[in-house]
Structure 1
Amino acid sequence: MSLKQQASQGAEVNEKLAALMTNSNAVRAIASAVEGTLGPKGLDTMLVDKFGEVVITNDGVTILTMMEANHPAARLVINIAKAQQEEIGDGTTTATVMAGALVGAGVEQVVKGVPVARVIEGIRAGVRRALEVMKEQAVPLEDLQHPWLQQVALVAGREHRDIADLVVEAARLIGREKLLDVNFKLADTVTAKEGAANQVFMGVIINKETMNKQMPRRLSEVKVLVLDDALEPEEIEDEALGTEAGFARYLELQTEFKNNVQKIIDLGVGLVLVDRGVDDTAEDMLTDAGVMVVQRVLNKELRRAAEHTGARMIKRTGLKKEPAELEKFLGQAGQVLEDEKLEQVWVLNGRGKPMATVLVGAATQEVVGERERIARDAASSVQAAVKGGVVPGGGALELAVSREVEKVRESIRGMAAYGVGCVAETLRRPMAQIVANAGFNPLEKIGDVLAAQAEQNKNSLAVDCDTGEIADMYEAGVLDPALVKIHALKAAGEIAEAILRIDTIIKMKEHRQSGGEGLEAGV
């Protein structure tokens, strides 16, 4: 091979490594933005927009979604973190930190000369074994009265005991069966308001006021109509109104609409929740009849109210039904009241499915958002713990699992062993970061904990972040949902494999052509 050919090959290799390094640096930059928040001694991050508006938070997914990130690899990490948040509701910081560590370790092996394919092969084997061990270590949490549930909420709630108490009370009110429902999220029951008192109640909150001050503020034993539509007459096009037949049809629809509103009144409906707007005529008639009407209700709140009261959502055309048939669509609430200070309507003690609401109070508007994020994290963790059990926190589980992954490394032949080593190294990262954030030497402490875990045959040992001493996380009440750990590692593995497989970056430009051609690639 000529010197020219060798130089050409060397340039090509350097170009591919440059692409890998660029992506790796972007991923590690994202990880470094959130790693300082990890653990009980983690600090807050201040986010500032171009107008000077400030958000101060310790919440990983909030930092990731609000930070400016233009690099494609960085956006990949953020998107997977969002998916983790959507699926589990917590663990995004751990997933991001582990992703940064795994990508970094993988790239380091590639730079040393290990083929990317072998690194990925080893990462897959290591992650697969790690997930198996994590699932084996999960301790079921079937009794909602178990004190561990409180500890899960306290850890995820960043030691805010008042929030942990609220979330656990809500979980117990709703019950295990509802918590296991894949379509239900306990975090959705959380709302925060400035000046509100902390409380949990069986019911739902509509974040709207009644249409006018003449409507009643409080009702008992209420029939509820949930209208997934506007409470308005059917429309006629302007052109049709210009004809005699069109105008006659308009008058007919107006009369029919008034009859439908009267039907609502005659059925004894006390609360009408409407997805869109309400016609003036309907508002006047319902006000005179002492009916509470709330318009433009968020669809999420509309569905929750229907589920809790046992109402079936109906379109405005459904109001044409006979009264006996229409009554089957009505729900029932023990009490409905409006809180004028909070600008909310509360629907309490519905006859439908149990639905608790967690109302978190905040002293000022500035801390409302953060209090709500903390409560949502705690709620998500509690539900995840009920679904998949609990494991020791503080990085103890990951460190114990790393020892099992090292055994896989010993049994694998060839260069794939280096990829397995990347996973073992990554699993030590959470504890290292937690310890570093607490002000201790991570190398020293991880060595001590590894030795203690092996000597005592106890996977729940980690570092007490107050004293620096080795402690049993189960005894200390430092518990995490197993599902959070499992999904965090899966997400890290997916990110690492996706990044390591990219060896060329090509900028695309839009090029529109007829015949279905779309994008052309250009460098």
Structure 2
Amino acid sequence: MSFGGQTPTIVVLKEGTDTSQGRGQTISNINACIAVQDTLRPTLGPMGSDVLVVDPNGKATISNDGATILGLLDVVHPAARILVDISKSQDAEVGDGTSSVTILAGELMREAKQFVEENVPVETIIKGYRKALRLAISYIKEIAVTIDKSDPEKFRGLLQRCAATAMSSKIVNANSEFFTKMVVDAVMTLDQDDLNIKLIGIKKVLGGSIEDTLFVDGTAFKKTFSYAGFEQQPKKFEDPKIVCLDVELELKAEKDNAEVRVDTVSDYQAVVDAEWKIILDKLEAIEATGAQVVLSKLPIGDLATQFFADRDIFCAGRVSNEDMNRVLAAVGGQLQSTTSDIHEEHLGTCKHFEERQVGGERFNLFTGCPKASTCTLILRGGSEQFIAEVERSLHDAIMVVKRAVKNNVVVAGGGACEMAVSKYLRETSKTIRGKEQLIIAAFARALEVIPRQLCENAGFDSIDVLNLLRMKQYQGDVWAGVDFSTGSVGNNYERFVWEPSLVKTNALQAATEAACIVLSVDETIKNEESAPPPQGMPMPR
């Protein structure tokens, strides 16, 4: 139906909705991602700088971990948020390479930008990038080195080198020799079938030097809230029996509006006696088990604390869920939700229990545990920000060692792997006809951003070093990378700068997928935010 020969205007979206589309929108999205990449560029590598982020509440965080920085930044651009997500996924999956994956994704988009501006179809760019990714992954698998697990000492050396490489760009780099042994010990204490890193407890105690950090081959947690009578309890046991409860051991006040009507004083006394009998029966049942250490997730009140103190039993209530799980994993036994049916097989044990002063805190330490599938690191340092960054650094190293245990295939770091793949893609692209040749060559150029940025952050001449790297690669030195000790190039495999190949392959896959997603978006629809009602006007129901 026509209206006076004119086509009627059809309104589909709410008035005020912002719509942007076309090549200009794609380029705008690419520019936003490049801006995020520029934020993380200075943090890459052993000579990378730290970033100080202050949140709206004034809390300051100092870090050079890509996932941590991007998580603290309030990135509002929807396309740039994709880089935040891939950094988090890299942290969750591998633990290391969070800055690399973001920088790689940004560089892939920077290289794609020139093709978009020249009206090359986006589908052609995406197809070329995905083909380049397949070629890169297959080449990494081809050149990666498998380490023999049969010799425990040699394999342990491999793990320490991977941990040292992961910590080379962290705040603990100067103390890496001290921490690499600790990190490898921590991972090797876990059950080698599932390697659940949640069983590695990390506690923080302000004060002392970084090398006052303790490794507890067992489990440890801070002294919990305690009542009068706690100091009368013994603080050290050899081969104690340990019972772990999910039971409340205190007299509870009556609930609000509760009412008990009694006719005589004796009736009131019977109510009071019943309350006391309930809790005393629980305490006597626990004592009858022969346990010398009583732990509970729920509160242990003053009556129970004094009861245990009189019988030379140690108790701790309000133990957190994570700490209780680690205790159970270390000492054995089972968590009990009642005190009426506890048998010998429900109890755990360890060689030594002690309450010890660590800095300004007191810790309960369980060592010499029969299961030995958990451990605890008690970190020391001069400031909260410093200890928090040490924790993040150790987490990355622990994740890298875990991946190396599960997948004992390594490549050389320091930009060597990226340069080797770049050279391979350049040569392969010459055998491909059409626009894909240019796109695969652009992918190869993008990979060079890692060694180039490593050089710039270290103050080296990136042009000279990259030219040397290309020359070494074409001479057949696959593991030629940036040598930070000489400011030139060297064989990073022989220098034991090793990384699990999974770190590289996962970073390449995530970066390529992020670039392809951003390139495939050519329209953004942003709904107008609803304005708050005028002051004094009630909100609509």
Aligned equivalent of 1:319, options 339, 348, 369: 339
Q: Which residue of 1 aligns with 2:216?
A: 201
Q: Tell me the TM-score normalized by structure 1.
A: 0.84
Distance in 2 (alpha carbons) for counterparts of 1:350 and 1:126: 51
2:413 counterpart of 1:393 = yes
2:224 counterpart of 1:216 = no
Mapping 1:323-334, distance limit 5 Å = 323-324=342-343, 327-334=344-351
Aligned equivalent of 1:127, options 125, 133, 145: 133
1:65-91 deviations in Å (ceiling 9; x for gaps): 222222222222112211211121111
- Equivalent pairs counted in the alignment come to 491
Find the residue that maps to 1:68 and give its secondary structure.
coil
The question of whether the paired residues in 1 share the 8 Å contact of 2:67 and 2:99 is answered with yes
Q: Percent identity at matched positions?
A: 29
The question of whether the paired residues in 2 share the 8 Å contact of 1:185 and 1:380 is answered with no
Aligned equivalent of 1:305, options 317, 320, 327: 327
Q: Which residue of 2 aligns with 1:5?
A: none
Alpha-carbon spacing, 1:299–1:177, altered in 2? closer, same or farther (3 Å): closer
Question: What's the CA shift for 1:227?
Answer: 2.6
Alpha-carbon spacing, 1:230–1:442, altered in 2? closer, same or farther (3 Å): farther
Q: Which residue of 2 aligns with 1:22?
A: 28
Distance in 2 (alpha carbons) for counterparts of 1:174 and 1:260: 39
Q: Which residue of 2 aligns with 1:136?
A: 142
Alpha-carbon spacing, 1:180–1:393, altered in 2? closer, same or farther (3 Å): farther
Q: Which residue of 1 aligns with 2:191?
A: 178
Question: What's the CA shift for 1:108?
Answer: 2.7
Q: Which amino acid aligns with 1:207?
A: K
2:184 counterpart of 1:166 = no
Higher helix fraction (1 or 2)? 1
Q: Which residue of 2 aligns with 1:377?
A: 396
Alpha-carbon spacing, 1:297–1:26, altered in 2? closer, same or farther (3 Å): farther
Alpha-carbon spacing, 1:467–1:104, altered in 2? closer, same or farther (3 Å): same
Q: Which residue of 2 aligns with 1:514?
A: none
Q: CA RMSD in A?
A: 3.1
1:225-255 deviations in Å (ceiling 9; x for gaps): 22346445899976776478xx999976763
2:274 counterpart of 1:259 = no
Find the residue that maps to 1:47 and give its secondary structure.
strand
Bigger drift between 407-416 and 474-483 goes to 407-416
Bigger drift between 413-422 and 57-66 goes to 413-422
Question: What's the CA shift for 1:114?
Answer: 1.5
Question: What's the CA shift for 1:257?
Answer: 3.9
Distance in 1 (alpha carbons) for counterparts of 2:204 and 2:256: 45
Q: Which residue of 2 aligns with 1:154?
A: 164
Consecutive unaligned residues of structure 2, counting only runs of 5 or more, are: 1-18, 263-267, 531-541
Alpha-carbon spacing, 1:408–1:330, altered in 2? closer, same or farther (3 Å): farther
Q: Which amino acid aligns with 1:376?
A: H
Distance in 2 (alpha carbons) for counterparts of 1:488 and 1:180: 25
Bigger drift between 377-386 and 172-181 goes to 172-181
Distance in 1 (alpha carbons) for counterparts of 2:110 and 2:247: 52
The question of whether the paired residues in 2 share the 8 Å contact of 1:26 and 1:71 is answered with yes
Find the residue that maps to 2:502 and give its secondary structure.
helix
Q: Which residue of 2 aligns with 1:344?
A: 363
The question of whether the paired residues in 2 share the 8 Å contact of 1:157 and 1:164 is answered with no
Q: Tell me the TM-score normalized by structure 2.
A: 0.82
Alpha-carbon spacing, 1:309–1:110, altered in 2? closer, same or farther (3 Å): same
Find the residue that maps to 1:319 and give its secondary structure.
coil
**Which is higher, the Rg of structure 1 or of structure 2?**
2
Mapping 1:500-511, distance limit 5 Å = 500-508=519-527
2:68 counterpart of 1:62 = yes
Distance in 2 (alpha carbons) for counterparts of 1:98 and 1:153: 22
2:447 counterpart of 1:443 = no
1:121-170 deviations in Å (ceiling 9; x for gaps): 11111112212222333323435533333222222223635444334345
